[in-house]
Amino acid sequence: MSSRKNTFVALCISVLALGLAGPANAQNWDLEPKIKVGAEYDDNAELDTRTDEEVSLSGGLLDLSADIKYSSENATFLFQPRALIRRYDESDFDSEDFFMRSDFDYKGRSSTIGFRAFFDEQSVRTAERADSDLEIEDPDDLTDDDTGRTVRFGDRTKLRLLPKWDYQLSTVSSIGATVDYYDVQYEDVFSGLLDDYTDARLNLNYRRNFSSVNTGLLTVTGRRYDPDGFDETTGYGVMAGFEYALSQQMQFMTMIGIEDTDQSGFDYDPEVTANITLTRSLETIRMFAQYRRSVNASGAGTLSVRDSLNLNFRRRLNEKISAGLGIRAYHSAGVDGSTSVEDRDYVQLQSSFLWYVTTAFVIEADYRYTVIDRGSDVVVGERANANQVNLWFVYQPRTTPRL
């Protein structure tokens, strides 16, 4: 195990030990550790199109994580380290995955600055396999950088940085800027199939409140996508739309625009982009629904156009039990309608049941069904599907039970 992984594991264990030892001693700090022990079964772990070559996996998992939070009148800070250890009946698929998320916001008199960071070092199957995450509430947490291009598995390291700045021009209008930066690196096993890349996007935003419930939105964007071994791609775009507060618990946002990209030797037509998002949060119901059309980075050395649908719904059935449903579906194609190894259709359905035995002890059962059609990457028309079942025993001594 690398020194970086050793350091990460030590940090997770230390945080968990501190969290279990006693209450936080600083008034503005809060610590919420979580320990999950589970079992997993997957009847087609590599999403292979040939039924006679499918790999069935079963094994045990250990998931250690913690939320370290700080809040004051003007600032909030969240740090989330996580380690996921997988052990299967076929040891080739064993892995130690490490994740980190950090979120900082500071509110001044007329401006707000923030910084978000995500770090993943994980073993990925079929390159990068998208997940329907039932916990997603912030659209910025949804990433579209997966490729699904190869049936091999290996390690991938991904860093994502999102600094932002907002300034209140008046009581009804504001401006802002955000940067969305990716740095993705693949293990040597992907050599010739996937390439390391960076992707940097700058967004300049303008907001204007037309009423207490209706806000106009305008975003101008520029980007540079730089894959190893390929010419870099530059692009610019614009999107406009509005946010509408249907009620205090439900918000609707819609935007539409175009993005034009340019790579040396290629002349692409502008692509239509769109984002339609609906969120609803009640005492017993949480819902997030989104349709998005975007131009995405990938490890294939080119950009792709994706139409995606994300739906997460969770409901508290009674004091002890809650249930959730997640759907993620997308269609990816080459920029300007060109045929590409990026062409594919992907659908994942996830259902989840949580039983709160006590406030601190939870039993969770998950089922996922995934289907993918890789288009020109394999024989056209061939599809792969997989069924995955997980059973988790969760100990969360300081976490307020949620849906």
Per run of 10 residues, the mean pLDDT along the chain (length 403 residues) is: 56 56 63 94 86 89 92 91 93 90 92 92 70 63 65 83 95 96 87 87 97 96 92 94 93 96 80 94 90 89 88 91 91 70 81 93 94 65 85 90 66
Residue with tokens 């059309």: 293
Closest CA to 238 of 272, 209, 200, 207: 272
Number of domains observed in the structure of the chain: 1
Whole domain around residue 362: which residue ranges? 3-395
Please indicate, yes or no, if residue 101 is contained in any of the structural domains.
Answer: yes
Q: Is the dihedral of CA 281, 284, 285, 286 positive or negative?
A: positive
Q: Which residues contact 56 (CB under 8 A, 6 or more apart)?
A: 41, 42, 43, 44, 45
Does residue 403 lie in a domain region?
no
The pLDDT value given to residue 379: 47
Q: What is the CATH number of the domain that holds 101?
A: 2.40.160
**Residue 222 is assigned to a structural domain of this protein:** yes
**pTM of the predicted model over 0.85:** yes
Neighbours of 74 (CB within 10 A): 11
What was the pLDDT predicted at 178?
Answer: 96
DSSP type of residue 124:
E
In a domain, 169, yes or no: yes
Model pLDDT, residue 13: 62
First-to-last C-alpha distance (Å) of the chain: 36
Does 401 fall in a domain? no
Q: Specify if 286 maps to a domain.
A: yes
Query: What does the pLDDT read at residue 251?
Result: 94
Neighbours of 283 (CB within 10 A): 8
**For residue 1, what pLDDT is reported?**
44
Distance CA 66, CA 71 (A): 16
Chain centroid to Cα 201, Å, comes to 17
Question: Quick one: which of 262, 263, 264, 261 has its CA closest to 272?
Answer: 261
Residue 323 domain flag: yes
State the virtual CA torsion across 261, 266, 270, 274 in degrees, nearest 10.
-60
Instruction: State residue 141 phi and psi, 5-degree precision.
Output: -80, -15
Tell whether 400 is covered by a domain. Answer: no
